[in-house]
Amino acid sequence: MDRRIFLRTVGGGVIAAATATTVAGCSSALPPEAIAAWNGPGNEPDARRWILAHAILAPHSHNLQSWLVDLSVPEEITLFLDRSRLLPETDPFSRQMMMSQGTFLELLDLAAKQKGLRAEISLFPQGVFPPTTVDARPTARIRLVPDASVQPDPLFAQVFRRRTHREAYEAREPDASALQAIGASVQPHAVRAGFVGTAQADLMQQHRRIAMEAWRIELVTPRTVMESIQVLRVGPAEIAQHRDGISLNDPMVRALAAVGLFDRSKAPAPDDASTTMQIKDFNANIAATPAFFWLVTEGNDRVTQVQSGRAYVRAQLAATAAGLSMQPLSQALQEYPEQAGTYAAIHQLVEAPAPRFTVQMWARLGYAPAIGPSPRRGLDAHILKA
């Protein structure tokens, strides 16, 4: 969600839930148990658990953390997609879910290297999912093999520092050496990286227009905006209970929720003040964004989607190392009918005509103030019970 969340209250009123504290004596900090996973695994003796404790810090669509692992075979990890945690409205073909499986696998691979282990990753060992559906078969089987030739990857140092930054970015351009490092980081995977900055004023305006329109469409389409509302976690108790989704811990929102005045039962109307204010606020951030970044693949099969997720998290880690922030602009890349126009527009703009090519990731890029981590469910929540 955006830097400020404009909320429709029972009775039609509207409030702006800013990130700053709005009720004296209350804190908007997340409860410690919700972010405990970011403290790391410590002296965990089980190598698989140690590695997985890093993998669960990967970025994921709507922060749903749709990862399940089976540890029943020694020295192996089998990864499954948690099909109870999908986004059927905004991600109807589960492309973003497959990318999120990829972000998990990349952090797993980086962590394995730190232990001197080679992660032999076999994707879809029981067969690849169809193009538009997913099922109960595993996404990957990983065998961990001791290998003295394995070298640690410098990007691992950024795993605990990585953030998805949705607030306003500074006006200054990203450094050229930083862009070069980001581009180089994705080379292990079959993707094409691209960038545009304020020196290309006309292109920047086109990127901004597409991003703004795609965001507007998502907000005024009831079923897609409700998909986000349904994973809002409001206040310390909800955030600590779920440790996923979109966290709102602003004291004003908590006060309204406590007395039953925060309406999450239905989507606001397209012309509702809560919608128009949120569009205005998002547009201001986009208008001030100094650069955009994207990843393009030839083809769009399930393996390519997973590998694209691996490439994206590498790019985000490289950006973090350079002091830069990223925020995915997923709306125009989503395959539901209302976004068909923006989907075609962004593909044309970055010279990736569909269906031969697919824009797998499109993101804001820039310098921004430090922020805290998002909630994580903890390792045990992802391990399948025998």
214 contacts 335 by C-beta, under 8 angstroms: no
Paired tokens of 149: 């030739």
Residue 324 to residue 53: CA distance in whole angstroms = 24
Q: What is the pLDDT of residue 93?
A: 98
Q: What is the pLDDT of residue 75?
A: 94
The DSSP secondary-structure symbol of 332 reads: G
What is the signed CA dihedral for 346, 318, 244, 259, rounded to 10 degrees?
A: -80
Measured in Å, how far apart are the chain's first and last C-alpha atoms?
37
- Sign of the Cα torsion 338, 341, 344, 345 reads negative
- pTM equals 0.93
Q: How many separate helices (H) and strands (E) can be counted in the chain?
A: 10, 12
- pLDDT one digit per residue (tens) for the chain, 386 residues: 343 444 444 444 444 444 333 343 456 789 999 999 999 999 999 999 999 999 999 999 999 999 999 999 999 999 999 999 999 999 999 999 999 999 999 999 999 999 999 999 999 999 999 999 999 999 999 999 999 999 999 999 999 999 999 989 999 999 999 999 999 999 999 999 999 999 999 999 999 999 999 999 999 999 999 999 999 999 999 999 999 999 988 888 777 777 776 778 888 889 888 789 889 999 999 999 999 999 999 999 999 999 999 999 999 999 999 999 999 999 999 999 999 999 999 999 999 999 999 999 999 999 999 999 999 999 999 999 97
DSSP assignment of 267-289 equals PPPTTSHHHHHHHHHHHHHHHH-
Residues sharing a CB contact under 8 Å with residue 74, sequence separation 6 or more, in sequence order? none
Residues sharing a CB contact under 8 Å with residue 89, sequence separation 6 or more, in sequence order? 223, 224, 226, 227, 336
